[in-house]
Structure 1
Amino acid sequence: MTDALSLINFSMRDVDQAPESPGLYAWYVSFRAGPHDWKIKPGPNGDQAIEGFLNLLRKYAGYYEPLPIGLAGRGAYGAKWQGSLELDYPLREPQDETRVNEDDAAKRLDILMDSLDTEDRRRIMATILQRSAPVFSAPLYIGVAENLRQRLSQHRRDYTKSYDWLRDHPEDAEEVKARGKSFGARAAARNIAMEHLEAWVIDLADEENDEVTKKHLRNTAESAEWLLHRLYSPILGRQ
């Protein structure tokens, strides 16, 4: 038995290189930005790169936006109440400028805008976000597999199939986002680019021995998966 579990990562494009062994895995979405995003772009109203970089942050934050919560209840005389509760997500594009400007989120947004007002500050922000996943960030999805390569490859096939479908049927995106039957489908519905998705895996192959059988490993991995779901609540997992 090894002293430390093997922890490696693969982009979604490269999951066919994952080990054919049991283990756990977690999907993350990386933040991508380059000099063309943070360099100054002079315009008639000042540096246009500020708003462009803010929109990049909004898109990335949108990958993690929680779905609305369905509510239902009963009132007097059998009356039924139902509806949905939607989070006022701080980086969403404001719909009501007057209302948004009055709340604390708007003040925080102003502070964020100030932190993007120079080329160097935008570069530093991009570097922090690029390096934060997966060390600081919550995973999109956590799973367990008897064969990591096969399972991750299935995720890629689900993503590709759904992405191709949604390209021709964009009106189905909200339905797939809420009720897609696979991680790949739900990731495609949030319009996450494949090259931004990466899986970190814990390979359990070296842990198997006479005392710890493959069945034991599977049971342990499933228990760990259950616990990790409750600790990190991955946004694209099954609720």
Structure 2
Amino acid sequence: MSSKKYKWNNLSRVPEAEGVYAWYLPLKISSKDISILIDKVNKNKAEGLDTSAKQDIKEFIEGKILNFYNEEPYDVSLDGALKPKYKGKVQHIPTISDSLVQRLYDDPPRLIEIGQVLISTAPNFASPIYIGMAKNLKSRIRKHQSLIQKYASRDYIALDGQSLSDEDRRDHNFAARVVARGIPETNMFVFIQEISTEIDTYKDIENLLNRINYPVLGKN
């Protein structure tokens, strides 16, 4: 059984079959954005503003690459004998290595090749951002697409007070988080794996794949 890729604009071709699916987001850094950054870095370097130049590089990496893949906050609690108790959320703080920033500071145009290579790495070098299962792959994936479009257009669908199935809530949650992260949805694509069995093993496969890959927009 082979998997098949479907881009955003041809999801209508997904078959009505049982199986599992995974959403991917290939990184796309425009040549215009890179050119603007290079000009800013070179300008700051020429004026002796090294700290500003490096900060521009860090903000570019965070905004154009890492922020799409940040983990959701953890709920944590701390307590100990005769100690105060603490409870709350812990945010994921993406780290950018100083050596990477230094290399880009020394040679800003190397970003051009980095951007080109990153575009070609999905899915072979990328983890999926979401893994799901479906009795009808076409219906489920098209539902994801529709919800993402509605949230992106600010046509939000109130969940409070509505009687929704667990699957509906997961689908709304996924769509809302795609939009909240500023993910360019038309860049996304889906890989599907049809599973032709008389028993619903696609549920088991989806369960295991989520625990192997831990996609950042998985069940929350």
TM over 0.5, shorter chain: yes
Aligned residues: 198
Residue type of the alignment partner of 2:66: A
The percentage of aligned residue pairs carrying the same residue is 25
Q: Secondary structure at the match of 2:70?
A: coil
Cα deviations across residues 82-123 of structure 1 (Å, max 9, x unaligned)? 1222333214xxxxxxxxxxxxxxxx2343341465465212
Q: CA deviation at 1:33?
A: 2.2
Within a 5 Å distance, the mapping from 1:61-80 to structure 2 comes to: 61-73=66-78, 80=85
Q: Secondary structure at the match of 2:120?
A: helix
Residue type of the alignment partner of 1:84: K
Alignment partner for residue 8 of structure 1, among 4, 9, 17? 4
TM-score by length of 2: 0.75
Q: Distance between the aligned counterparts of 2:182 and 2:60, measured in 1?
A: 13
Q: Secondary structure at the match of 1:44?
A: helix
Q: Secondary structure at the match of 2:218?
A: coil
Indicate the larger mover: 49-58 or 184-193. Answer: 49-58
Within a 5 Å distance, the mapping from 1:1-239 to structure 2 comes to: 5-39=1-35, 41=39, 44-46=43-45, 55-59=59-63, 60-73=65-78, 80-91=85-96, 108-115=97-104, 117-118=106-107, 120-165=109-154, 181-204=172-195, 208=196, 212-213=197-198, 216=199, 219-239=200-220
Indicate the larger mover: 62-71 or 109-118. Answer: 109-118
Whether the aligned pair in 2 keeps the contact of 1:38 and 1:53 (CA below 8 Å) is no
Whether the aligned pair in 1 keeps the contact of 2:144 and 2:171 (CA below 8 Å) is no
Cα deviations across residues 1-58 of structure 1 (Å, max 9, x unaligned)? xxxx232212233311211212211011111124324445376324899876654431
Residue type of the alignment partner of 1:41: D
Q: Distance between the aligned counterparts of 1:53 and 1:78, measured in 2?
A: 42
Residue type of the alignment partner of 2:10: D
Whether the aligned pair in 1 keeps the contact of 2:130 and 2:215 (CA below 8 Å) is yes
Residue type of the alignment partner of 2:2: S
Q: Distance between the aligned counterparts of 1:197 and 1:13, measured in 2?
A: 10
Q: CA deviation at 1:220?
A: 1.6
Residue type of the alignment partner of 1:31: L
Q: CA deviation at 1:237?
A: 0.8
- Root-mean-square deviation (Å): 3.2
Whether the aligned pair in 2 keeps the contact of 1:75 and 1:81 (CA below 8 Å) is no
TM-score by length of 1: 0.70
Segments of 5+ residues of structure 1 without an aligned counterpart are 92-107, 168-178
Residue type of the alignment partner of 1:89: P
Q: CA deviation at 1:236?
A: 0.4
Segments of 5+ residues of structure 2 without an aligned counterpart are 47-51, 157-169
